[in-house]
């Protein structure tokens, strides 16, 4: 994997500089934009062309929630990693369903931030123990976003296999090899599932599958 271009949006300059400094030892991560709010970030994205954005939530003007939604619509190829002090599961759900590709707490070590940047760039999403715990809690409580989904959703065996492998964090190429089909077919099935479930990205697809018990 080549250099991953990263933007960071946070209204605290000291925190921004701290994150950039902590990731400096990793030569494959290059910061291409700093922003102090969502508006500032969005105005610079066309020029900076990052692969991944580290997004704070609470910022003046356009906050991280609104900025994430805007990035998802205007720059769908850019991955958004939330970097926040908020542990409230409602924030996690809302953001992952509205375009975020991962959610990290600001207490995360530099190694985890680096791993999240790498994974989200390669796989399209990053799910850590914090997010997984919320997912499991939600799936056990059976609070489904759409009522009686299980009775309405029918998946072919091939779709079930692709969905299961995606949730196990395999890449399209790895899934293709396991299922003995082409990577293009895997991508086509994934795109079809995302369209059916109204998911904006792979992270949203994984969330939907786990929440609605679509995988064993």
Is residue 77 helix, strand or coil?
coil
User: Mean pLDDT across the chain, nearest whole number?
Assistant: 86
Task: Specify whether 166 is located in the same domain as 94.
Answer: no
Residue 186: which CATH number? Answer: 1.10.10.10
Task: Specify whether 23 is located in the same domain as 128.
Answer: yes
Tabulate helix, strand, coil % of the chain (nearest 5).
Answer: 55, 15, 35
Task: Specify whether 153 is located in the same domain as 69.
Answer: no
Within-domain flag for 184: yes
Residue 51: which CATH number? Answer: 3.40.50.2300
CA 175/CA 205 separation, integer angstroms: 16
pLDDT digit string, tens, across residues 27-60:
999 999 999 999 999 999 999 999 999 999 999 9
Within-domain flag for 190: yes
Task: Specify whether 72 is located in the same domain as 103.
Answer: yes
pLDDT band with cut points at 50, 70 and 90 for residue 2 = confident
Task: Specify whether 125 is located in the same domain as 150.
Answer: no
Which among 103, 136, 169 is the end of a domain? 136
Alpha helix segments (H runs only) across 13-109: 13-22, 38-48, 64-74, 89-96
Distance of CA 17 to the CA centre of its chain: 23
Strands 4-9 and 52-55: parallel
* 216 has pLDDT over 70: no
Task: Specify whether 168 is located in the same domain as 80.
Answer: no
Task: Specify whether 148 is located in the same domain as 167.
Answer: yes
Task: Identify the CA nearest to 101 among candidates 174, 9, 200.
Answer: 200
Task: Specify whether 119 is located in the same domain as 167.
Answer: no
* 214 has pLDDT over 50: yes
Would you say how long the chain is, in residues? 216
Task: Identify the CA nearest to 191 among candidates 168, 172, 169.
Answer: 172
Within-domain flag for 216: no
* 145 has pLDDT over 60: no
Residue 83 vs residues 14, 56, 74, 143, 191: alpha-carbon distances, Å? 15, 5, 21, 26, 27
The pLDDT value recorded for residue 152 is: 57
Which among 136, 154, 172 is the end of a domain? 136
pLDDT band with cut points at 50, 70 and 90 for residue 80 = very high
Average pLDDT over residues 147-154: 51
Task: Specify whether 128 is located in the same domain as 175.
Answer: no
Instruction: Identify the bridge partners of residue 105 per DSSP, sorted by sequence position.
Output: 84
pLDDT band with cut points at 50, 70 and 90 for residue 139 = low
Within-domain flag for 185: yes
CA 123/CA 108 separation, integer angstroms: 20
pLDDT digit string, tens, across residues 180-190:
999 999 999 99
CA 159/CA 165 separation, integer angstroms: 10
Range(s) of the domain holding residue 172:
144-211
**What's the number of domains the chain is made of?**
2
The backbone torsions φ and ψ at residue 148, rounded to the nearest 5 degrees and listed phi first, read 45, 45
* 75 has pLDDT over 80: yes
Task: Specify whether 129 is located in the same domain as 167.
Answer: no
Cα torsion through 200, 203, 206, 212, rounded to 10: -60
Which among 97, 119, 136 is the end of a domain? 136
Task: Specify whether 101 is located in the same domain as 64.
Answer: yes
Task: Specify whether 124 is located in the same domain as 161.
Answer: no
Cβ distance 13 to 36 under 8 Å? Answer: yes
Within-domain flag for 123: yes
Strands 102-105 and 79-84: parallel
């Amino acid at each position: 994997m080549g250099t991953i271009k990263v933007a960071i949006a946070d209204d605290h300059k000291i925190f921004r500089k701290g994150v950039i400094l902590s990731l400096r030892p990793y030569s494959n991560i290059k910061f291409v934009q700093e922003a102090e709010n969502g508006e500032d970030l969005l105005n610079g994205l066309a020029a900076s062309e990052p692969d991944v954005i580290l997004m704070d939530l609470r910022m003046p003007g356009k906050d991280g929630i609104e900025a994430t939604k805007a990035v998802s619509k205007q720059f769908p190829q850019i991955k958004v990693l939330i970097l926040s002090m908020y542990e409230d599961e409602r924030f996690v759900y809302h953001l992952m369903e509205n375009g975020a590709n991962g959610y990290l707490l600001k207490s995360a070590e530099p190694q985890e931030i680096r791993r999240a940047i790498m994974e989200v760039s390669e796989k399209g999403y990053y799910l850590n123990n914090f997010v997984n715990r919320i997912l499991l809690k939600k799936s056990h409580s059976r609070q489904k976003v759409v009522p009686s989904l299980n009775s309405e959703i029918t998946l072919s065996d091939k779709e079930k296999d692709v969905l299961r492998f995606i949730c196990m964090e395999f890449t399209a190429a790895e899934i293709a090899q396991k299922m003995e089909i082409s990577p293009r077919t895997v991508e086509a099935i994934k795109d079809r599932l995302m369209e059916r479930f109204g998911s904006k990205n792979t992270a949203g697809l994984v969330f939907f599958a786990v929440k609605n018990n679509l995988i064993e």
